Amino acid sequence: MNSLQQIGTSTKAGTQAGTTWRGRGGRARRLASLVQAAVLAVALAACTTTQPPGPPDDDDQGTLVVLVNGLPTGATGAVSVTGPGGFDELLAASDTITGLAVGSYAVTASDVSHAGVDYAAGVTGSPANVTANAVTTATVTYTAVSQAPGDLSVTITGLPGGVDAAVSVTGGTVNEQLTASGTLEDLTPGVYEVTAAEVDDGGDIYAATVTGSPATVPAGGSASVSVTYTFLDPAAFGSLAVTIDGLPGGTDAAVTVTGPGGFDVDLTSTGTLANLTPGNYDVSATDVTVGALTYTALIDTSPVLVLPDATTSVSVSYVPVAENDGDAQSNPGWSALFRATSGAPVEVTDVLFNAASPLDVKGIKLSNEIGNPADPGDWLAFELVHGQAPTSPVTFGLECLTDYDGTSPIRVELRDDSGKKIGSTVTCGGEFTIAIPATGGSGDYLVSVLPMFTDPYFMRYELSIDAYCFQACVFQPYEP
């Protein structure tokens, strides 16, 4: 069968498909069409195989600047930033977040109150579209809802008629002395403290109990404080119940109570002191050491007023504290060098102050403790030698080893040498991989372990940093 006969066979198939060619000329034209279609198909296949559309580079990162304006000194904002990959960050003030994945980020803010003034939040620039190698800005502006003046009412009772009280009201530029009940008007919104001294009425001593101080005077509103004087009858007696907690079982406290007439008693556990002369008693406590841990005491009120024929209560709560280990943001306790050729990852339990000889490792785990008030933060400085990729992924994990309730009391942040925060905050039980932009061959960074709040706390923790382990780091004890 010649070629035309073969084409004829194909023509029959073509006819069956619904296309009809007639005669030898039609078969020749069909041959040319088939050849052209085959060539075109080959060309298209070659294009599709060798020139696919370029996928987006997942390593490209961007920067988000969040500006928080309008709040007075001492006030904190309530700003939330959420975005791709489960990114979720809470900000209290302006911040710069670098190393972000490209995408859309929602910036939201809640209203806040400070010193009696409510501030409404407004956000511009959200959602913020973070693009590669660019800076995107979102702004949160707080505006005082009202700053109208307010009033403070002080009610004074318990003194005989004609006897002046000795009450002081202070706050802002106010320093007022009151001898009887009254209302201070047109006060700037803010916090005011009311105190009262003892009053001597011909040898009869009256002491005061103040309720409601410090008082916050709201904008356009009012606050109230009561001052109740009680005659300290020397012929009567009172009691003082001292509750002591926080120490491990079987550990003695070190609490001292002193008061009128040279009264001086040491307490090692909870107890009630009876038959006390009415008056003010000072309650103090010294630190207690149990093993390697030191406990300090928090006393709710001192001095405390013991009233006739009544039992007054005071609590002494011991909390563990971390000794100040001397490291600071300007003097980090540890230094490390991370690069692909570094040695095995190590675990460090002591502060090293080794800036002159950084640990040259692929990863590091810090096992330490921090706490308010003595040692609220730890710092690790490191140099990261970048590879060829646009970013260097580093994984940070934080394990908290002391029991805590609710929100994590501490956080981990990463900042570059200009102070800009990179990536998201890591909290207790969290892990986050931060893609650090490879600007230059290497970069200097600072990792901080800091409190979330100003309340007293103690926390044992483990901070793990995986820079070049490629799989999960296996940390070995550091041997100097």
Dihedral-angle region of residue 286 (phi above 0 means left; psi in -120 to 50 means alpha; beta otherwise):
beta
Mean pLDDT of the 377-401 span: 94
Per-domain boundaries in the chain: 3-50, 61-144, 150-231, 238-321, 334-477
Q: Over the stretch 216-250, which tens digit does the pLDDT of each residue have?
A: 999 999 999 999 999 999 999 999 999 999 999 99
Which pLDDT score is estimated for 6?
31
Q: Over the stretch 42-84, which tens digit does the pLDDT of each residue have?
A: 333 333 333 333 333 445 789 999 999 999 998 999 999 999 9
pLDDT level of residue 440 (50, 70, 90 thresholds): confident
* Strand segments (E) across 246-302: 255-259, 263-267, 271-276, 279-285, 288-290, 293-299
Which pLDDT score is estimated for 230?
96
Q: What is the topology classification, in CATH, of domain 238-321?
A: Immunoglobulin-like (2.60.40)
DSSP label at 261? G
Q: 379 near 445, Cβ under 8 Å?
A: no
Topology match between the domains 150-231 and 334-477: no
Dihedral-angle region of residue 256 (phi above 0 means left; psi in -120 to 50 means alpha; beta otherwise):
beta
B/e letters for 153-170, b = 16+ CB within 10 Å, e = fewer, are bbebebbeeebebbbebe
Q: What H or E segment, with its residue span, contains residue 452? A: none
Q: Does position 398 have pLDDT exceeding 90, yes or no?
A: yes
- Token look-up 């990792």 returns 447
What CATH number labels 334-477?
2.60.120.380
Distance of CA 379 to the CA centre of its chain: 15
- Main-chain dihedrals φ then ψ at residue 150, nearest 5 degrees: -130, -175
CA triple 206-215-120, angle to 5 deg:
180
Distance of CA 430 to the CA centre of its chain: 13
Q: What H or E segment, with its residue span, contains residue 15? A: helix 3-16
Q: 139 near 125, Cβ under 8 Å?
A: yes
Residue 129's contacts (CB-CB under 8 Å, 6 or more residues apart) are 103, 104, 105, 136
Mean pLDDT of the 452-468 span: 91
What CATH number labels 150-231?
2.60.40
Q: What is the topology classification, in CATH, of domain 61-144?
A: Immunoglobulin-like (2.60.40)
Distance CA 335, CA 380 (A): 6
Average pLDDT, the chain: 87
| pTM (two decimals) | 0.75
